[in-house]
Structure 1
Amino acid sequence: MQKILLIFILFITTGKAFSNFKVEYVSFTEAEIINDYTTRIPFKLIDHLIVVEAKLLGKEGNFIIDTGSETLILNKVHFPIKYSHNKKKNETSGVVNIVDDPLERQLSQFVIQNLILENKTSDVIDLSHIERTKKMNLLGVIGFNILKDYEVFIDLYLNQITLTKTDRFGEKLDKYVYLEKITDSIDFKLKNHTIVLNATVNGQNLKMGLDSAAELNQINKSVSKKVLKYFHPKERLMLTGASNSKIEVLAGKLHRVKLSETIYFGPMNTILTNLSKMNEAFGTKLDGVLGFEFFQQKRTIINYKKEKLYFVKHPNIKD
């Protein structure tokens, strides 16, 4: 049996902050500031994780971009907690297991170059096992509570993320952000912080979560046999989750995934697993998760306030 460690950073957080933690300066060190509302941030891929470089409290390192995480997550290894009363009353749930003893801090100010975010909450969790597995310096994870105020263009063709500020209705404050042509769009439902898409496989309806930090797609063992007919297994892998727990899963390719008559995908690397704990964490019933494989095929813009995805023309795909 081949054993490969795969990291899925999927969190949902609840509860109140118990202390103030002022962040005086945070910057993406290689960001290109377009104007007061828009910045472009280059990223690197570490395995299948989207990673940006940033500075925070005098420390410089990597942050994972994770649409499946509710909050900004700081690595306890680099931002140790000084007071025991900071422990959260509620747990933070990971896709494989429950993360033990998460802690929470309130950020008085979080600054991305000239884009200022105020009163943001962060969780503090030991992510040292991810650092070891991925052989990287990891300061933390940037999630929904940072991204939601922006239209977020995740572009795996150019390896860059564009953040552009939106108003309360989701309208871009910068009207001339994209030179690229938008070719299609689809609505989604925002369940708490989770993007939920209606999809089909072999004509069967599925509810799929969208998570930029899922290194492989996931499909629930309990889905219809008509769906599993188009899951072609190849090997067994060992999955490691955020809590450093391990489970064995069946890996292969999922075929015929469609979001609409015009939005469909080629075969995607997918694991077959039990998603009951993830559904408990998300507070909804998902039939699966779409991750890196989704973004690799589709240059995607996320508008949280409009609950809409837009897709940008891919230069490698002819009309």
Structure 2
Amino acid sequence: MLNGFPAPGMAGKPLRLPHLQNGSHGIASLVLMFRTFTAFAYAKLTIAIAGTILAIAIYCANLSTLGNNQTAVKRALTSLVNTLNAKDTALLEPLLAPDYKVGHLTGDAAREALKQIVENYPRTIRCLTIQNKTQLADGSMDVEVMLQCSDGTRKSQFRISPVGTFSELGLITPRSTFSPKYAFSPSVFTVPFQLHNGLILAEAKVNGKEGHFFLDTGTKGMTLNSAFFPPVKASSEPVLHLGAQGTSVSLECVVVEDLEWGEMRLSSFEAASKNLDHVSRYFKMDILGIIGADQISNHEVKIDYAKNLLTFYALDNDGCRLSKKKEDMSVSDINFELIDHIPVIEGNIGDIKAKLAIDTGLSINVINNTLKEQIADSFQDEGEKTVTSVWGSPRSYQSGRISQIGLGGLDYGKMPFIVSDVPFIAAATQNRFPALLGYSFLSRQPISFNYKKKVISLWPEF
């Protein structure tokens, strides 16, 4: 034995303690054994102390980071409450990350949505309580809060960076599935409409008030003009309207007790409330509201621009028309996918394969600059064109015609387009499609939308 460890050549063999004997040899052996175990114990204690010190250091570092983050979180949330109560976006701007998101919106769409939410926030926040915090690997913190407001409580979630700026603001949530308390319609019915600048304007009655309503499938739910339908309460969350010419937000709502549209009846659902006076002024008539995709999604709706007629077909659970008459049969189908509430089809623009959204709230087709540059040889410039939508005032855009367009195996060449990198295309859909098709496409022949089957059908002209 050398200092209590096996001598050379003894590796792997059991260590045998010497027999205790009377005399000095036994005492020496006992001392050696004691020293050996003391050395082992001391080494283990040293390692344990070092490990404890390291653990404490790491814990203290985490506490320090968490403490710094808590200060940043408190500062950011206090600023948010002050901003919403003062209705002044400028108060929050120093605490916004360069690429912040509002809901799923980014870029210009997020900035416009936040501005509208702040300037029109319909309630006063009296108290904010942090419900839950989760620190992420990059040092950011997800914070779930409860807002005690003048009209009740609201839950929201935010992501705050390590330097105390908002990278995500959960101030917008997608609208829930449309589910009126009562719905009725015959198997087939029609609604006549007027055409104004390529936009569909039909008569309907809401809560006993009859008047003009636009049909805009680019909007998810119904929106009523607050001039005729004063809001009765604040929406549980801001309602987002995505349109080809930008983003709009409603923060108040109206309870629709009864909607009569042709022979269809819907009751007991919420509609957004928004001032549409600028729309009424432009069209020189009272516009009571806008009917969105939700209100037609349980039917197949055929649009015949030549006859100014909407035809509604009731559907079974599989999305098949209940009417089996020969005149109620389409001739060609194009499958689509729903992105948010927008039907999107695949096609060819020039030599480029692209996804194209379809929106009845557009008076003309829209293409973004990137795709326009890619098909420059097929784009024939026609100068500037003034365009309007159901939401905004007229605006001027570069316009032209595209000579080669293939959709569903059919040629739609020479259709007019405007060029615009609008926030809706770039942000709301994460660039999943570069163009929208409106009246210029829809008016080529009778066309119908079946949201249950996710099919667009083309019909013969009678």
CA distance in 1, matches of 2:420, 2:305: 26
CA distance in 2, matches of 1:239, 1:157: 21
The secondary structure found in structure 2 opposite 1:179 is: helix
Residue of 199, 218, 238 corresponding to 1:68: 218
Which position in structure 2 is the counterpart of 1:39? 189
> Which residue identity lines up with residue 146 of structure 1 in the other structure?
Q
Matches within 5 A, 1:117-136: 117-136=266-285
Residue of 66, 76, 89 corresponding to 2:238: 89
The 1:179–1:241 alpha-carbon spacing in structure 2 relative to 1, beyond 3 Å, is: closer
Residue of 257, 265, 271 corresponding to 2:412: 265
Which position in structure 1 is the counterpart of 2:330? 182
Give the drift of 1:65. 1.3
Paired residues of 1:37 and 1:115 also in contact (CA < 8 A): no
Matches within 5 A, 1:101-250: 101-112=250-261, 114-176=263-325, 179=327, 182-223=330-371, 225-239=373-387, 244=392, 248-250=396-398
Question: Could you list the runs of 5+ residues in structure 1 that have no partner in the other structure?
Answer: 1-11, 27-34
* Corresponding position: 1:285 with 2:432: yes
The 1:205–1:90 alpha-carbon spacing in structure 2 relative to 1, beyond 3 Å, is: same
CA distance in 2, matches of 1:113, 1:90: 27
Which position in structure 2 is the counterpart of 1:296? 443
Residue-by-residue CA offset, 1:2-59 (whole Å, 9 max, x unaligned): xxxxxxxxxx983469xxx999x99xxxxxxxx8222111111112111111222232
Residue of 302, 307, 314 corresponding to 2:454: 307
CA distance in 1, matches of 2:298, 2:431: 23
Paired residues of 2:181 and 2:268 also in contact (CA < 8 A): no
Paired residues of 1:97 and 1:241 also in contact (CA < 8 A): no
The secondary structure found in structure 1 opposite 2:449 is: strand
> Which residue identity lines up with residue 196 of structure 1 in the other structure?
V
Give the drift of 1:181. 5.7
Q: What is the RMSD computed on CA atoms of the aligned residues?
A: 3.1
Give the drift of 1:88. 3.5
The 1:148–1:180 alpha-carbon spacing in structure 2 relative to 1, beyond 3 Å, is: closer
Give the drift of 1:75. 1.2
- Pick the structure with more strand per residue: 1
Paired residues of 1:302 and 1:308 also in contact (CA < 8 A): yes
The secondary structure found in structure 1 opposite 2:318 is: coil
Give the drift of 1:244. 4.1
CA distance in 2, matches of 1:233, 1:314: 31
How many residue pairs match? The answer is 290
TM-score (norm 2): 0.56
Which position in structure 2 is the counterpart of 1:5? none
Give the drift of 1:260. 3.0
Question: Could you list the runs of 5+ residues in structure 2 that have no partner in the other structure?
Answer: 1-171
CA distance in 2, matches of 1:294, 1:169: 28
Which position in structure 2 is the counterpart of 1:14? 174
The secondary structure found in structure 2 opposite 1:229 is: helix
CA distance in 1, matches of 2:274, 2:265: 24
Paired residues of 2:257 and 2:269 also in contact (CA < 8 A): yes
* Corresponding position: 1:48 with 2:198: yes
Matched residues, percent identical? Answer: 24
* Corresponding position: 1:251 with 2:399: yes
The 1:22–1:191 alpha-carbon spacing in structure 2 relative to 1, beyond 3 Å, is: closer
Largest Rg, 1 or 2: 2
Runs of 4+ in 1 over 6 A off after TM superposition: none
The 1:227–1:101 alpha-carbon spacing in structure 2 relative to 1, beyond 3 Å, is: same
CA distance in 2, matches of 1:79, 1:304: 29
Paired residues of 1:87 and 1:101 also in contact (CA < 8 A): no
> Which residue identity lines up with residue 250 of structure 1 in the other structure?
Q
Give the drift of 1:80. 1.5
The 1:97–1:245 alpha-carbon spacing in structure 2 relative to 1, beyond 3 Å, is: farther
The 1:103–1:241 alpha-carbon spacing in structure 2 relative to 1, beyond 3 Å, is: farther
Instruction: Answer 1 or 2: higher relative contact order, Cα 8 Å, separation at least 6.
Output: 1
CA distance in 1, matches of 2:272, 2:340: 17
- Pick the structure with more helix per residue: 2
TM-score (norm 1): 0.79
The secondary structure found in structure 1 opposite 2:375 is: helix
The 1:145–1:283 alpha-carbon spacing in structure 2 relative to 1, beyond 3 Å, is: farther
